[in-house]
């Protein structure tokens, strides 16, 4: 059966049709994708329906048992895929191509449906274009496996599905590193008697993810060493900050670490007698976004003082104390340069521009060799980082 076209021009609020779903099924040869449909699929799960038409609102927004099953990529604040803008433009310009495997969902024994692969396409189709009916591949658990075993298989599936010919292509080294951290947190990578992730267990995990797309021995060894070296700061001297939430929990933990939002105080006539304080947390790689986001929030909330706290998510095995400092200095330099650029364009030389209302306040510690890992590191007026 021949088809006159292989892509669909999207329309807002649209839906895929059964004809298009059938088209997708015939265009995708399952023998070409053994990791999706064949003998490379984890044995704990099985494909039960290919190119199946379902309502988008039948897909759960919550996580299955609190487990994030779609952890293929790491590094993008919004979607997890740094290629999202490029993919969005491609679909808008050339249409949604039916020659690729469908988005993948997992149907739990209770009937609920969860995303396990294709989060980027789901974001574009459903969240941005408002599609009501979408085409998916449906997976279920095989008999004889525990729920935890199935969840691990789904995690492997999500990362593995994005590796084609080169693990550094669609799935990067950073994705693999983050996936190891996630597997450790869920007990899927074993720990030794000292509570440190086992080398062999990490290697076994990575081989499951990468399948036939083997990492070079040097890359494999370096990645395993990095995972072990950053896991436990008590042993390694390095702290791994997994998320903004973890940093927020740290800086509001009580005692001398009680950096919580403080609301402004006004007198009976509505006059401001004390400014409020807002703490905003950013990863060091977000320094450009930090300036814009913090400035915008401060502008919209004039009764607040905004304090920026940075965190470095991880320290690579070859990073030094100097490298940690240089990373933060880059954040400070961009902040100061951005203020200077605004001043030069929009204000006269006589205009006072320093309000002390929005500024870099501090950073959380990452290296035991430099700081007490239980205290915040502050930026002083001279531009030096130190603990009080």
Structural domain includes residue 279: yes
Out of 231, 255, 275, pick the residue that ends a domain.
231
Tell me, what's the pLDDT at 74? 45
95 and 199, same domain (yes or no): no
305 and 254, same domain (yes or no): yes
100 and 32, same domain (yes or no): yes
DSSP letters for 134-191 = EEEEEEEEPTT--HHHHHHHHHHHHHHTT-SS-TTSSS-HHHHHHHHHHHHHTT-S-B
Tell me, what's the pLDDT at 165? 39
Tell me, what's the pLDDT at 69? 53
Question: Comparing 280 with 229, which gets the higher pLDDT?
Answer: 280
Which tens digits make up the pLDDT trace of 166-199? 333 456 777 888 889 889 989 999 998 878 899 9
Tell me, what's the pLDDT at 210? 87
Structural domain includes residue 148: no
224 and 249, same domain (yes or no): no
Tell me, what's the pLDDT at 94? 81
Do 87 and 125 contact (CB within 8 A), yes or no? Answer: no
32 and 101, same domain (yes or no): yes
The domain tally of the chain equals 3
Q: Show the domain range for 303.
A: 244-386
How far the first Cα of the chain sits from its last, in Å, is 74
Which tens digits make up the pLDDT trace of 319-372? 567 778 889 999 999 999 998 888 878 777 777 666 789 999 999 998 888 888
pLDDT at residue 43 greater than cutoff 50: yes
Out of 110, 143, 176, pick the residue that ends a domain.
143
Which tens digits make up the pLDDT trace of 242-279? 789 989 999 998 877 889 999 999 999 989 999 999 99
266 and 348, same domain (yes or no): yes
Structural domain includes residue 61: yes
pLDDT at residue 295 greater than cutoff 80: yes
126 and 167, same domain (yes or no): no
85 and 216, same domain (yes or no): no
Q: At 242, phi and psi to the nearest 5?
A: -80, -25
- What average pLDDT does the chain have? 84
Query: Distance (Å, rounded) from C-alpha 138 to C-alpha 372?
Result: 49
116 and 51, same domain (yes or no): yes
User: Among 85-94, 102-111, 257-266, 370-379, which stretch is predicted with the lowest mean pLDDT?
Assistant: 85-94
Structural domain includes residue 154: no
Tell me, what's the pLDDT at 168? 36
Tell me, what's the pLDDT at 385? 93
Structural domain includes residue 236: no
Structural domain includes residue 156: no
2: confidence class by pLDDT, cuts 50, 70, 90: very low
Structural domain includes residue 155: no
Give 286: exposed, middle or buried? Use CB within 10 Å, 0-12, 13-18, 19+: middle
Tell me, what's the pLDDT at 164? 53
189 and 311, same domain (yes or no): no
pTM for the full model? Answer: 0.59
């Amino acid at each position: 059966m021949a088809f006159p076209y292989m892509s669909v021009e999207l329309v807002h609020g649209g839906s895929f049709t059964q004809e298009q779903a059938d088209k997708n099924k015939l265009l995708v040869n399952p023998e070409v994708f053994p990791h999706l449909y064949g003998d490379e699929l984890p044995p704990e799960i099985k494909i039960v329906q290919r190119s199946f038409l379902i309502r988008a609102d039948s897909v759960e927004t919550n996580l299955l048992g609190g487990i994030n099953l779609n952890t293929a990529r790491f590094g993008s604040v919004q979607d997890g895929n740094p290629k999202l803008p490029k993919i969005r433009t491609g679909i808008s310009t050339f249409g949604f191509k039916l020659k690729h495997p469908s988005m993948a969902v997992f149907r739990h024994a209770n009937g609920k449906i969860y995303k396990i692969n294709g989060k980027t396409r789901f974001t574009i189709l459903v969240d941005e274009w408002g599609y009501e009916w979408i085409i998916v591949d449906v997976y279920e658990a095989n008999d004889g496996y525990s729920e935890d075993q199935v969840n691990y298989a789904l995690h492997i599936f999500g990362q593995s599905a994005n590796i084609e010919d080169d693990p550094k292509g669609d799935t990067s080294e950073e994705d693999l590193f983050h996936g190891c951290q996630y597997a450790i947190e869920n007990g899927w990578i074993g720990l030794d008697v000292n509570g440190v992730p086992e080398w062999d267990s990490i290697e076994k995990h990575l081989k499951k993810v990468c399948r036939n797309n083997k990492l070079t021995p040097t890359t494999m060894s370096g990645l395993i060493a990095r995972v072990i070296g950053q896991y436990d700061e008590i042993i390694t001297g390095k702290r791994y900050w997994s998320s903004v939430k973890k940093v927020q929990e740290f800086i509001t933990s009580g005692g001398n670490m009680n950096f919580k939002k403080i609301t402004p105080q006004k007198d009976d006539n509505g006059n401001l007698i004390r400014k409020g304080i807002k703490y905003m947390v950013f990863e060091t790689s977000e320094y450009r976004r930090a300036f814009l986001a913090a400035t915008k929030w401060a502008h919209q909330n004039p009764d607040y003082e905004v304090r920026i706290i940075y965190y470095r998510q991880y320290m690579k095995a070859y990073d030094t104390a100097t490298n940690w400092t240089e990373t933060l200095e880059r954040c400070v330099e961009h902040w100061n340069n951005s203020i200077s650029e605004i001043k030069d364009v929009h204000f006269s030389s006589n205009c006072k521009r320093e309000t002390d209302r929005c500024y870099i306040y501090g950073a959380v510690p990452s290296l035991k060799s430099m700081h007490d890992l239980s205290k915040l590191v502050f930026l002083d007026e001279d531009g030096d980082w130190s603990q009080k």
